[in-house]
Amino acid sequence: MNRTSVIVQGGHSGFAQEITAGNHHLRADEPPEVGGQDLGPNPYELLLAALGSCTSMTLNMYARRKNWPLEEAVVRLAHSRIHAADCVNCESEAARLDRIDCELELKGPLTSQQKARLLEIAEKCPVHRTLTSKIDIRTRVL
């Protein structure tokens, strides 16, 4: 089993969190308007960063493998919550739906067919697949 682990630690005051991911250390926090100190990205920004970085890595790896002239992949993401009434495929009108809008800027002399294929590949990155699949989160107290 391929297992990735991250440790997140936070105190009882404020929202700031210390994150350890392998040899890397970073912070998460909330903006001042919701009680944080803006010492790092908020949790949704970290989620978008995970999806965006995985998408860009996947696109670049695929283009290299195909010897395509992709010079740079820029991934712009935004998270929002919309009313399910705005979603034609939603089951409950009263529910809210999380939506991530993703825009790809593919730099380099690519053909329209290559760009279309890269769009398909973007939706196959591992983090995208995780976010669009059923996730089993098991939480316990130590």
- Given a cut of 70, whether residue 11 has pLDDT beyond it is yes
Tokens of 44: 């949704």
Please give the share of the chain, as a percent, with pLDDT higher than 70.
90
- Given a cut of 70, whether residue 1 has pLDDT beyond it is no
- Given a cut of 90, whether residue 30 has pLDDT beyond it is yes
Going by pLDDT thresholds of 50, 70 and 90, the confidence category of residue 97 is confident
Please report, for residues 12, 30, 43, 114, the alpha-carbon distance to residue 36 in angstroms, rounded to integers and kept in the order given: 12, 4, 12, 43
- The 10s digit of each residue's pLDDT in 104-115 is 999 999 999 999
pLDDT value of position 90 = 57
Report the range of poorest mean pLDDT among 20-24, 42-46, 75-79, 95-99: 95-99
Tokens of 34: 């919701």
d(CA 62, CA 70): 10
The amino acid occupying position 39 is L
The amino acid occupying position 118 is L
- Give phi and psi for 73, each to the nearest 5: -115, 120
Domain range 42-131, its CATH number among 3.40.50.300, 1.10.260.40, 3.30.300.20, 1.10.240.10:
3.30.300.20
Question: Which whole number is the average pLDDT over 76-99?
Answer: 72
pTM, entire model: 0.86
- DSSP E strands, the chain: 7-10, 17-21, 24-28, 72-83, 96-107
Instruction: Write the CB contacts of 100 (distance below 8 Å, at least 6 apart in sequence).
Output: 48, 51, 77, 78, 79, 131
Count of alpha carbons within 13 Å of 137, Cβ hemisphere only? 4
